[in-house]
Amino acid sequence: MGEKADVWQGTLALMILKTIEAMGPLHGYGIARRIEQTSGNLLSLNYGTLYPALLKLEQEGSIASEWGVSENNRKAKFYKLTRAGRKQLAQETRNWEQTTEILARFLSPSEDPA
């Protein structure tokens, strides 16, 4: 199996929000593992990138956190989606869908763009 790729610029917030939406409240380690699992273990998630992203999303009001106990009986901060986070997720999803449609036009140049 080849080397894992880094998370693409601008996609981490979307992946975090989508993961929390799908899985419910999760701690940071759980979010990271789920993102890597969902990518088929093709992405490598750096914790030095994940936790600042979680903090930023929390400061923006997209997620909220509370302390709880993890499955290994350890104290952990669990993150959940807020109403603002659901709106942000919907907007970011639309933006990425549009971006992938545009890129698809470049990757399939035989199609008429009109």
According to CATH, the topology of domain 5-107 is: Arc Repressor Mutant, subunit A (1.10.10)
**pLDDT single digits (tens) 94-108:** 999 999 999 999 998
Question: Which whole-number Å values give the CA distances from 74 to 6, 11, 25, 108, in the listed order?
Answer: 28, 29, 16, 50
- Give the domain ranges of the chain: 5-107
51: number of CA atoms within 13 Å, CB side? 5
| pTM confidence score | 0.84
Rg (CA), the chain: 16
**pLDDT single digits (tens) 39-71:** 999 988 888 889 999 999 999 999 999 999 988
